[in-house]
């Protein structure tokens, strides 16, 4: 053992080597700040482009979908006498059909079985007008009381401010925006107590001063003395005022109307039924909006394809500028895979930072513009903020794409750097 000096190794050397690698990456990021800022800007631009496109189309499509669902029924099946209660001159003046107008003319709910299948109908739901009451403790305006079937309803619940926490139970009600009371609070109607399960958004119509009960609760309330006027026919279980109908997708509204009328004309007991349709549709607009994601995806793909060679060129320039450092590392024993990793890691750090900056800046700008109502006016459609889960998914997708671009664009420079001859690399001019 004489003539030899023993040096403690392994742990200290490994730690020092790891620190050298980290120092190499940090030094590369601090060197040439102008170039690194330009690279960060490229990554941020790509991330913002992808995130903005997905966010805007999700919000616009959500707004259109909500608008379409809030347009109510395509058809209303009512007694023929109901026509005199329409506001306007006839079906051509009928706007969104959310509820049937109050009337004392009724039909039987089992008429839905008669309409059945084969008429181009995708959904049917009954409604019952019970009465109009003056309940000043709940609203300064007269309050309409309606019964509906929450399981088949597709016209009232889309207007809820928030989705119901649980299915509507006996004793639960949904109230219009003009009715006093918070969700989960209790209200009294004719000595009967109900729990508010949900509130509707403002509609600027009589719906704002309406209470909606389950049909079984509506029949029970109608049996209470003084609810239904003595001059009006009494309400018995099975009575409804209207059947609201939604057409199947791609069905022509006029064709569906003709089919339903044909069904009624074949049965004497139903020959005095009327079918009323609304005179407009948002389907063409909805289809146009849903076609936009394809265009935005093409634009995003174009930006990514253009950015790949640009970022690869920047990575190659970085590798060339740092030949001496790479040569020194290799002369100190760094293996090819370590050099390869270092070049890739530097690009990944820039990509991650740029992606976070791009997504964060665009998210802040979008939230600010949405609060100011700028998005609604710019998109010419009601903008609906995506859910937090969806926003997180879109942000994660944008970051993954940017990181993938950073990895792919630096593969060739990393490969070339790992194959450098240490002697030639150290002697190379900067």
- Residue 156's pLDDT is 93
Residue with structure tokens 């990895």?
Answer: 407
Q: What does each of the 430 residues of the chain score in pLDDT, given as a tens digit?
A: 444 444 444 444 444 444 456 666 666 667 667 777 877 888 888 888 888 877 877 776 666 666 666 778 888 898 887 766 555 444 444 456 888 888 888 999 888 888 876 678 989 999 999 999 999 999 999 999 999 999 999 999 989 988 898 999 999 999 999 999 999 999 999 889 999 999 998 888 899 999 999 999 999 999 998 899 888 889 999 999 999 999 888 888 888 888 888 888 777 767 778 888 775 454 554 455 555 556 666 766 776 677 667 666 766 666 666 666 666 666 666 677 777 777 788 778 888 888 899 899 988 888 888 777 676 566 555 566 777 888 888 889 888 888 888 777 777 777 776 676 665 555 555 4
- Burial, 91: exposed, middle or buried (Cβ in 10 Å; 0-12, 13-18, 19+)? middle
Query: Under 8 Å CB-to-CB from 163, ≥6 apart: which residues?
Result: none
User: Across the chain, which distance is largest between two alpha carbons, in Å?
Assistant: 123
- Residue 137's pLDDT is 94
- Residue 257's pLDDT is 86
169 φ, ψ to 5°?
A: -100, 165
- Do the bridges between strand 186-189 and strand 242-247 make them parallel or antiparallel, or are there none, so unpaired? unpaired
- Burial, 42: exposed, middle or buried (Cβ in 10 Å; 0-12, 13-18, 19+)? buried
CA atoms within 13 A on the CB side of 206: 16
DSSP run (H or E) holding 343: helix 336-371
Give the rounded distance of the alpha carbon of 339 from its chain centre.
45
The answer to whether the beta carbons of residues 245 and 121 sit under 8 Å apart is yes
- Partnered with residue 79 across adjacent β-strands are 273
Residue ranges in 240-282 assigned as alpha helix (H): 253-265
Tokens for 411, please give them.
């593969």
Residue (of 331, 321, 405, 416) closest to 27 by Cα position? 321
Sign of the torsion formed by the C-alpha atoms of 242, 243, 249 and 253: negative
- Residue 289's pLDDT is 52
- Residue 232's pLDDT is 87
- Partnered with residue 290 across adjacent β-strands are none
Tokens for 274, please give them.
């009327």
Give the burial string for 207-226 (b: 16+ CB within 10 Å, else e): bbbbbbbbbebbbbbbeeee
Q: How many helices (DSSP H) and strands (DSSP E) are in the chain?
A: 12, 11
């Amino acid at each position: 053992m004489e003539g030899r000096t023993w040096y403690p190794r392994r742990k200290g050397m490994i730690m020092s080597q790891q620190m050298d690698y980290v120092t190499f990456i940090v030094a590369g990021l601090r060197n040439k700040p102008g170039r690194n800022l330009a690279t960060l800007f490229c990554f941020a631009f790509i991330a913002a482009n992808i995130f903005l496109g997905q966010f805007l189309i999700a919000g616009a499509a959500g707004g259109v979908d909500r608008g379409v669902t809030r347009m109510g029924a395509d058809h209303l099946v009512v007694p023929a006498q109901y026509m005199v209660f329409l506001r306007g001159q006839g079906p051509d003046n009928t706007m969104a059909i959310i509820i049937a107008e109050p009337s004392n003319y009724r039909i039987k709910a089992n008429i839905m079985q008669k309409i059945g299948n084969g008429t181009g109908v995708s959904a049917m739901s009954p409604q019952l007008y019970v009465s109009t009451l003056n309940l000043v403790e709940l609203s300064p305006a007269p309050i309409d009381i309606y019964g509906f079937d929450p399981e088949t309803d597709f016209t009232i619940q889309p207007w809820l401010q928030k989705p119901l926490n649980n299915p509507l139970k006996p004793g639960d009600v949904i109230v219009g925006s003009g009715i006093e009371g918070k969700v989960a609070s209790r209200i009294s109607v004719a000595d009967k107590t109900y729990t508010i399960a949900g509130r509707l958004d403002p509609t600027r119509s009589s719906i704002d001063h309406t209470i909606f009960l389950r049909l079984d609760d509506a029949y029970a309330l109608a049996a209470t003395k003084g609810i239904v006027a003595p001059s009006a026919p009494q309400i018995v279980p099975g009575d409804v005022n209207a059947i609201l109908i939604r057409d199947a997708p791609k069905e022509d509204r006029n064709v569906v109307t003709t089919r339903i009328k044909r069904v009624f004309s074949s049965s004497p007991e139903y020959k005095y039924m009327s079918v009323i349709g609304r005179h407009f549709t948002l389907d063409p607009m909805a289809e146009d909006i849903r076609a936009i994601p394809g265009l935005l995806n093409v634009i995003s793909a174009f930006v990514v394809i253009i950015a790949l060679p640009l970022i690869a060129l920047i990575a190659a320039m970085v590798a060339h500028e740092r030949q001496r450092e790479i040569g020194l590392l290799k002369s100190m024993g760094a293996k090819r895979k370590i050099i390869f990793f270092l070049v890739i890691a530097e690009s990944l750090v820039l990509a991650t930072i740029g992606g976070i900056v791009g997504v964060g800046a665009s998210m802040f700008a979008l939230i600010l513009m949405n609060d100011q109502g700028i998005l609604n006016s710019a998109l010419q459609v009601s903008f609906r903020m995506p859910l937090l889960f969806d926003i997180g998914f879109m942000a994660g997708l944008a970051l993954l794409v940017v990181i993938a671009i950073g990895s792919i664009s630096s593969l060739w420079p990393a490969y070339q750097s790992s194959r450098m001859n240490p002697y030639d690399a150290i002697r190379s001019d900067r």
